[in-house]
Amino acid sequence: MTTLRVGDTAPDFTSVTQDGQPFTKADLMGQRTILYFYPKDNTSGCTLEAKSLRDGKAELTRMGFRIIGVSPDSEKSHRSFCDKHDLNFTLLSDTDHSVCEAYGVWAEKSMYGRKYMGVLRTTFVIDAEGRIDILLNNAGFGISGAAEFTSVEEAKRQLEVNFWGMVRATKAVLPVMRAQRSGRIVNTSSVAAVTPIPFQTYYSVSKAAINSFTMSVGNEVRPYGIRISAVMPGDTRTGFTDARARSFAGDDAYGGRISRSVAKMEKDERGGVSASVVGAALGRAALSKSRKVFCTVGFVYRLVIFLMRLLPSTAANAILGKMYAE
């Protein structure tokens, strides 16, 4: 498998867009590009990722970026995906996975104990001269429901997408970053990592794992000039809410608290900040020279996290329970 490093020249490739137009590496030149690889059109995690980029495109364009997506799907599948979700950027069809192989993101994966070849969800930031600058780990989706009634398989799927996908992409780039003594990795976490919400347990666990990974590995690789940070958004208006895998199993046993909690949580999300605000935070984190490990999006959420850390854990947890578990 090809391994790319920050500062490498982006590999040559030939592909076609969703409209059947030829597209090569030469078309990347002259403008900074967010080149993201994803497994499959119209799956929950890939749809959420595409919608988030769609909603954040205006801010990314203002910052000088364009968006190009790549997956092994056909041109027809891409056109349907774009039409269904009003996607406003280019998708490349990589049916022979040659582009994925060139960028080192076609590899063995594992799901529920089954091993298979597939796309490692990965984002590269390529500068106007065609050099790879940054790795962004931004894939994720959410599940909700009582921990007691959530199957182990569903919990594993939550961790597989949100945490292990990030781990695989990071492990793929670290060896060469370390050898070159430079690199920048930005992980997408969540305020839920430090304010774990009842009935969203496994999502909160996946984001807490990202934070621990970011801090621990960041210390391991800091002597080699590699900086790793995590951006923690709070409630955000994206397709994330509608894409959530909801389960109300056991709601009667829990006195209706599951449905009440999820309804309140989703109301908060729909009233949250726009995706462009989060996109801007990710962009700043990727381009900043700061060594700050965590970036919380929004003054309100920075205040919430400050207060939660200031209060005794018993009091902080009681507040979260009062808000989302009654």
User: Which 8-state DSSP code applies to residue 14?
Assistant: E
Name the active-site residue from 46, 82, 100, 295: 46
Please answer whether residues 6 and 180 qualify as being in contact, where contact means their C-beta atoms are separated by less than 8 angstroms.
yes
Neighbours of 316 (CB within 10 A): 17
Tokens of 325: 């578990």
- Displacement of CA 219 from its chain's centroid (Å): 22
- Residue 82 annotated among the catalytic residues of the structure: no
- With 0-12 CB in 10 A as exposed, 13-18 as middle and 19+ as buried, what is 175? exposed
Judge contact between 36 and 69, C-beta under 8 A: yes
Q: Is 195 helix (H, G, I), strand (E, B) or coil?
A: coil
Helix (H) or strand (E) holding 261: helix 257-270
Return the SS3 of 134.
strand
| CB distance 159 to 208 below 8 Å | no
Radius of gyration over every alpha carbon of the chain, rounded to an integer in angstroms = 20
Contacts of 18 (CB under 8 A, 6+ apart): 75, 78, 79, 81, 82, 90, 91, 93
Cβ contact 138:123 at 8 Å: yes
Backbone conformation region of residue 47, classed left if phi is above 0, alpha if psi is from -120 to 50, else beta: alpha
The terminus-to-terminus CA distance of the chain in angstroms comes to 50
Which helix H or strand E contains 181, and what residues bound it?
A: none
Q: Name the residues annotated as catalytic.
A: 46
